[in-house]
A and B are shown apart, each in its own frame.
Chain A
Amino acid sequence: MALQRGLKPAPALMALAPGLVLLPLGLGLLRDLHAGGAEQIGRFWLAAFQPSLERSLLTHQLTGLQVTALTALLAWSLSSCIGLVLGLLCSTTIVSTLTGLRWPALMLRRCLSPLRSIHEMVWGLLLLQLFGLNGWVAVLAIVLPYSALLARVLADQLDRHEPLALTALRCAGVPAVANLFTSLIPPVATAIRDHIGHRLDCALRSALLLGIFGLGGLGTELMFSMQSLRFRELWSGLWLMALLLALVNLLIRRLSAGHGLLLLLLALPLVTMQWSRSLHHDLSLPRWVDGAPWASSAQWIEGMSQAWIETPWLELVGETLLITLLASGVAIALPPLLRLIAPAPGPGRIVKAGWLLMRLLPAPLTALLLMLASKPTITVAALALGLHHSGVMGLVLEDGLARVDDREHQAMVALGARPRSAWLFGVLSPASKRYLAYAAYRSDVILRDTAVVGLVGGAGLGWQLMEALSSFHWQQVGWLVLVYAALTLLGELLCERLQEMT
């Protein structure tokens, strides 16, 4: 037993191990592959090189792009500010230093996990019930889960570091508050800044997706094009989005070096307010819509038990977990695997462009493309989700690799290690810990995202949630949301245990 504990696998291998799921997925795909959709897929990729340049289309898409960007920026700025405050309140180190008690922080943390467990698309459709079609609905739909996620990341970071300097300064008579931001915040500042910067990219994609599910912006335009398989029009929008993503990433990288990120966070709400006015995008104070779409409370209680009985929970949860597991495996292992195959900077650049492409294509679109070439199975759903999120993980990995101290790698090369193993143990290994920690949050997101590709296999909780929402079956929606929350909470507890063990 003791021996087993002594034999810890190298962190780099831990990052690659989830790639094992590629095997069954690949086999499944091979079995179900057919050439019937080759023509459509060919049309799709050809259209990338000849996007539609029709004037009225571009005007519509540009307006849509601005609405998407505006929604994303506003949501990003608000969720970052709120998430930072909540994160401080969720940190057991901070709360126990200030009050001597740990449970308020833990409790707040647990209370926030349901917010994270619900997909922004579902938030959007729920908020739409309450406020109607208002610009704030999309913003809030992103702010709610994003703030909760940032709070968790920040609290995890704060509580992970053993606060040695904190004890030292406390013993030296430094008052608690001054001590906390002097000894606790600086060690996590870089990681948090990276995370916040990276969330803007995510917010943009979320805003696009919200459009796809009916809340306006470029996503709405793309959805129409996608549904009618007008790939040239689709690509006009995708290229615009790509441009925006690239621009934003460049900007963030420039800004996060200094205090620019903070300034941007604070300035954005002001700018976006003015901007929305020039676009005639309704960002007025949302007002409660009279009357609820759901039944009275007595009917609710009766309907709840009915809805619980008629839903095949075991099957749904099983399928959802399977999709999440497979997709997480792909998303986590693919980036390091591809970089291992191509450690040189030249091919590395191609791989990086590949990540951008993966992030650019919304998961429902990837799923539709895969479905044209394969029979509809869970494999397709998992692969679509996995590929989309591997784009995100690829970005995280590249950021992590860029921060690795090169000395270890050089030492290995000097010792005569082959380029690949030198890269594996000299570059990937040191970056792995943070990468894997981020992977835990990503699988959280993938679990929520099963709602988006639910349509593919007609499987899992995600599909059931879409069906319940479109039938306005609120009791079932309520249960599904609860089950999602429970799964997220379980995942969180599991991750915490794993982190304690390693």
Chain B
Amino acid sequence: MQATQFHITSLLDQVISGLPGLLPELVLIAAFVLSIFSGVFVDRLWRHSTLAVALLGMIAAAVCSGLELRTPAAENLLFGTVLPDAFAGYIRIFIAAACILFALSIVANPDFTAHRKKTADLYSVLIAVHIGLNLMVMATHWLMLFVAIELVSIGSYIMVGYLAKEARQTEAAMKYALFGAVCSAVMLYGLSLLYGFTGSLEFTAQPFIDGLTATPPLLTTLALLLVFTGIGFKLSFVPFHFWSPDVYQGAPTPVTAFLSTAPKIAGMAMLVRILYAWPESSAPAQSLHTMLLVAAIATMLLGNLAALRQANVKRMMAYSSIGHTGFLMMAALAYSAGDYTVLLFYLAVYTIMNMGVFMLADHIESRTGATDLAAYNGLGKRVPLAMVCFVILVISLTGIPPTAGFVSKLLIFSVVFERWQATGNPGMIGLLIVGALTTVISLFYYFKVPLNAFLKKPDADQTMETAPLSGGLLWLIVILSGATLVFGIFPQWLTNWFG
């Protein structure tokens, strides 16, 4: 009975020794509590007080993550639930960047600023989601992972339904909430089965791996399929993608920008952690590998082909982000343990490009009211700077030099090719071919934007009015577009930092 006795002091010691690894999250928790108070009491005196609290909290969290990069944890903390290693440290910084950009684009969005509910609560929700995303990246325990996913999901439902101004927004929120809740419920059932097979919840630990290998492969595959329903929902890969075009189109545009970036980065980190927690030769890892390989190929093809025939810009970009998910999965599959530079580079560049392009769509929508591709006709003359940025970001998303998108795609292709040469796995060459093919396909829909904006004449009945809007957000987007060019020409600035 020695093992079952509670040793309160030693347990507390273990908790306290683990806390420094979670410093960014502790900062965020403090900011969360403060933001609720400032939303209730201080917002009446100063309109932007909650925003200020949220921004300061998130910047402080990013700085703490940066400081932790110097002393990454070598082993799991807090009873094997989290692993704040260097990989998690970098991704936490990307997530903080995406959250800060989201907060800034809310301030610039007239729909949000004029809303009767005010935006204070939204910032509190954003901080909570930020904590959830950070935990998702670090989790090495199914319970922690599940709590983190739910924290992110519930926060995201609130974000999508926050305005509830038009019928469509509520529809998007309902679809998102119902589909998300079903996926996480199914995932929970899968987790309960995995727990039954192995008797352990810590998925990187030896007892879990031993238990999984000892179980009949059919059962583990079934349980993993159920678990990956929940993860697939967060990443929106095929066949769990069909919520995302509807939700991305219906949600307020800043929310779409956030949802297509931050949860995807965190989800990808989580996927990599699960994928490489188990030895590659073991049966469960093999079946997981095959499942994800097929899903990655299907995701790339479907995302890019469906984007071709979209008329709505947000819907088109939604499919494009599904296509990018497939690409990221390819990077995750080819990632060899220990060397995460390529994956991190792609994630960093994806954060910049995707946030940039959706923020730009938001900016153009609130200035000119254009949401369809046809309404972009002639916009090159009306909002020249915005359209030039759009072109740069779209070039980067396609993967054409001299942008960061090109370098990141090139790096992934070369890693996949090396991997194919090393293992002779036909799946890798399949990924490579489909990846190259869909890059070409993506040209056709991405280039509709500059084509319409610069070469086509606007319709006669189109209004030529441009709503006056402060240029702050636009300059931010200019910086982001500039960053894609800079990192395209000097990729070593980023890769050296990851080294």
A binds B: no
Chain A: residues with CB nearer than 8 A to chain B? none
Chain B: residues with CB nearer than 8 A to chain A? none
